[in-house]
Amino acid sequence: MRLAKHLSSVFGLCATASAAFAQAPAAHEPGEVFRDCADCEELVVVPPGEYDMGSPDKPSEGPVHRVVIGKPFAIGRREVTFAEWDQCVAASACKYSPSDQGWGRGERPVINISWDDAQEFIAWLSKKTGQAYRLPSEAEWEYAARGGANSPYWWGKEVGTGRAKCEDCGGDGARQTVPTGSFRPNAFGLYDTAGNAAEWVQDCWNPTYRGAPRDGSAWTTGDCSLRVLRGGSFANKATYLRSAARFRYDHDVRYYANGFRVARDLK
């Protein structure tokens, strides 16, 4: 993969990131962490590059194809949390207040959210900040989730123990979410791209990648009554946490393992 030049600097930036972040500066560097307002989402700048999207493991994950991410973009450092979602509800911009299944709200990823619900949050955040927030495209999501790796998981070939939250990931055996950022981030500085909550992306569902965009953009044709989810969840086996794994739900379905993270373009 053509990311070797970026990764050493990204690792260094991630290791020295402070808990307090200033608002976005005029220029952005790969690995930079920023917010658009004091209580906004933490965003990470993902560098441009190219990678082989998909895998030969399942028909829906192929054919493997080269995707070029031509410019940097910003993506949520963590999955959107209940604390962040509840701000949107308090502002009367998000109509639905989802159940936390009795597990607690706060810094746990918001769940029981449909793709349609996520669009309300994104519209509110865009209006609040003056920035054009959106869901990441499926290609952007996989690129960011891999963090420069071409192995099944961003950390290697095997799921191992204690690296993510899933049914057979080891560690805490409770079948529920954990607070975001409970496991170490990938090389791009993103938390929980494997497990915890499955994440909606912008794309319509297509059963294979034949005809898929190769420029990192969202695939907006196909069966748009179904939308793609990535990353797997606490309720899934480890195979669903592979960086290439993908599945789908109806756009208006609320499910207790599904959440999302945000993205936006950089000016």
Q: Which CATH superfamily is domain 4-265 in?
A: paralog of FGE (formylglycine-generating enzyme) (3.90.1580.10)
DSSP-assigned letter for residue 211: T
Per-residue pLDDT tens over the stretch 49-78: 999 999 999 999 999 999 999 999 999 999
The pair of three-digit structure tokens given for residue 173, joined into one six-digit string: 């055996």
* Predicted pLDDT at 26: 58
Residues 6+ apart with CB under 8 A from 162: 169, 170, 171, 183
Tens-digit pLDDT profile for residues 151-179: 999 999 999 999 999 999 988 888 999 99
Strand ranges in 111-181 using DSSP code E only, listed in sequence order: 133-134
Question: 187 near 154, Cβ under 8 Å?
Answer: yes
Judge whether residue 11 has pLDDT over 60.
no
Task: Record the pTM.
Answer: 0.90
**According to the model, what pLDDT value does residue 28 have?**
83
Q: What is the pLDDT of residue 23?
A: 52
Q: Determine which of 23-32, 104-113, 185-194, 199-208 has the lowest per-residue pLDDT on average.
A: 23-32
**Average pLDDT of the residues in 110-129:** 98
Give strand ranges (E) for the chain: 33-34, 43-46, 49-53, 65-69, 73-76, 133-134, 198-205, 223-230, 246-250, 258-260, 263-265
pLDDT digits (tens, 9 = 90+) for 184-206: 999 999 999 999 999 999 999 99
Beta-carbon-side half-sphere exposure of residue 6 (alpha carbons within 13 Å): 22
